[in-house]
Chain A
Amino acid sequence: EIHLTQSPSSVSASVGDRVTITCRASQTIGNYLNWYQQIPGKAPKLLIYAASSLQNGVPPRFSGSGSGTDFTLTITSLQPEDFATYFCQQGYSTLLFTFGPGTKVDI
Chain B
Amino acid sequence: QVQLQESGPGLVKPSETLSLTCTVSGGSISSYYWSWIRQSPGKGLEWIGYISHGGSTIYNPSLKSRVTISIDTSKTHFSLYLDSVTAADTAVYYCARLVDCTKGVCHYGMDVWGHGTTVTVSS
Contact = CB atoms under 8 A, between A and B. Distances in A.
Range of interface residues on B (Cβ < 8 Å)? 20 to 34
B112 to A, nearest CB: 8
B47 A55 contact: no
Contacts, number: 69
B114 interface: yes
A99 B114 CA distance: 18
Q: Per DSSP, are chain A's interface residues mostly helix, strand or loop, or mixed?
A: loop
A5 B106 CA distance: 22
B113 interface: yes
A32 B60 CA distance: 18
Contacts of B103: 53
Nearest to A95: B58
A96 B60 contact: yes
Interface in A49-77: 49-50, 53, 55
A6 to B, nearest CB: 10
Nearest to A35: B109
A20 interface: no
Interface of A: 31-34, 36, 42-46, 49-50, 53, 55, 87, 89, 91-92, 94-99, 101-102
15 contacts: A32-B107, A33-B107, A34-B108, A34-B110, A36-B110, A45-B113, A49-B109, A50-B107, A53-B105, A87-B44, A91-B107, A91-B108, A96-B47, A96-B60, A97-B47
Interface of B: 44-47, 58, 60-61, 94, 96, 99, 102-103, 105-111, 113-116
